[in-house]
Amino acid sequence: MGWLATPRSKHTREAGNVAANGDIAWYEFLSMIAFKVALLHAVAGLLIPLFVVVLMTRFFGPNRSAAEGLRVWKFALLASLSMTVPYVLVARFLGPEFPSLIGGLVGLGIMITCARVGWFIPKDEPWDFDSQDKWDSDWNGTILLDDGGTRTSSMSLLLAWSPYVLVAGLLIATRVPALGIKRLLTSPAATIEWVGVFGTDITSKVEPLYLPGTIFIVVSLLTSVLHRMKARDLNVAWTRSAKTMLSASVALVFTVPIVQVFINSAGGVAGYEKMPIVLAEGVASLTGSAWPFFSPFIGGFGAFVAGSNTVSNMMFSLFQFGGLPLSN
């Protein structure tokens, strides 16, 4: 960890500056973090599929039996490894933007194949929830499932996988610098920039064509053509998606500005450091070398309050980084 051994005065700068001071390129710095995070996720996720299955059979099955869930331990562990192993390998060799995408896609393909062949699946009857009329009242949520009068039709496996393949392909094509597409999508001509936000020295910019959401919109349009969706079915899908997006965006309308204030709070008449750094310095002075123990709780608390890992990372990543006890 020698690249973190910088003086405390330099430590209060941006993470990118610290990476530069440590003679390591920013992308390499980010890739190294992604690989270590992927390892932690792989270890933590090893037993999650089995835990979820046991949880369902114990509390939601007709027999309330944890043993029913434990019978699929081989298949559950295979499900975990089929996702986490590609996840870690992609983080190590391709960088930080693809592990979740490719790991999940590879894992899904492996498990579908294993399920169809019958590998590691118990020979007895598959477990299922009890009939819906026997459910506890608190099992039912507020969302009522309605197919909108659509009819199901058979399609080839390749056609069914086409949305996932398109998303993966477009994300990789737009994120790999060597292909040249990223340079076009992030060029000044394709960037909306706001210099001097409300008379400050803050500059805000957005690259609409480079956003992952744009890729999902493009793929949804392509999928509607490939699947030959009728206008009525397409309208149902877009309407439901819009309602879900609007419900989720209510929290973001308030959360994102708060995050921006939080991370752009440096300076002013008093010349204070930005809020995450001040908080981190205070907590680090109290905890000392025990800061790594308290740091995960900060991130978890942020995810609990904001309801989002992404927002927690935006707000508290610099806080956590700023609290690292560094040697002189």
pLDDT at 259 over 50: yes
Banded model confidence at residue 1, pLDDT cuts 50, 70, 90: very low
Hey, what are 243's tokens? 């309602």
How open is the CA angle 142-143-144, to the nearest 5 degrees?
115
Question: What backbone phi and psi angles, to 5 degrees, belong to 193?
Answer: -125, 140
pLDDT at 232 over 80: yes
**Mean per-residue pLDDT, 211-220:** 90
pLDDT at 98 over 50: yes
**What are 217-225's contacts with CB under 8 Å, separation 24+?**
218/170, 219/163, 219/166, 219/167, 219/170, 220/163, 222/166, 223/162, 223/163, 223/166
Q: pTM for the whole thing?
A: 0.66
In angstroms, the CA 230 to CA 311 distance is 37
Banded model confidence at residue 55, pLDDT cuts 50, 70, 90: very high
**Mean per-residue pLDDT, 72-93:** 92
**Mean per-residue pLDDT, 203-227:** 90
Hey, what are 286's tokens? 């109290």
Query: Is the alpha carbon torsion for 135, 140, 144, 145 positive or negative?
Result: negative
At 328 the pLDDT is 40
CB proximity list for 185: less than 8 A, separation 6 or greater: 174, 207, 209, 210
pLDDT one-digit tens code per residue, 159-194: 888 998 898 889 888 888 888 898 999 998 999 998
Banded model confidence at residue 24, pLDDT cuts 50, 70, 90: low
Cα Dmax for the chain: 72
pLDDT at 21 over 70: no
Rg (CA), the chain: 24
In angstroms, the CA 268 to CA 270 distance is 5
Cβ-contact 309, 302 below 8 angstroms: no
164-168, 174-178, 206-210, 266-270, range with the lowest pLDDT: 266-270
- Please give the mean pLDDT across all residues of the chain: 79
Question: What backbone phi and psi angles, to 5 degrees, belong to 5?
Answer: -85, 70
How would DSSP label each residue in 150-199? Answer: -------HHHHHHHHHHHHHHHHHHH-GGGSHHHHHTSGGG-EEEESGGG
210-219, 249-258, 267-276, range with the lowest pLDDT: 267-276
Q: Is 77 exposed, middle or buried (0-12, 13-18, 19+ CB in 10 A)?
A: middle
Banded model confidence at residue 219, pLDDT cuts 50, 70, 90: very high
In angstroms, the CA 186 to CA 188 distance is 7
**What are 257-262's contacts with CB under 8 Å, separation 24+?**
258/315, 259/311, 259/314, 259/315, 262/315
Banded model confidence at residue 142, pLDDT cuts 50, 70, 90: low
In angstroms, the CA 300 to CA 176 distance is 31
Banded model confidence at residue 148, pLDDT cuts 50, 70, 90: low
**What's the chain's length in residues?**
328
Banded model confidence at residue 322, pLDDT cuts 50, 70, 90: low
In angstroms, the CA 247 to CA 241 distance is 10
Question: What backbone phi and psi angles, to 5 degrees, belong to 265?
Answer: -95, 10
In angstroms, the CA 321 to CA 12 distance is 9
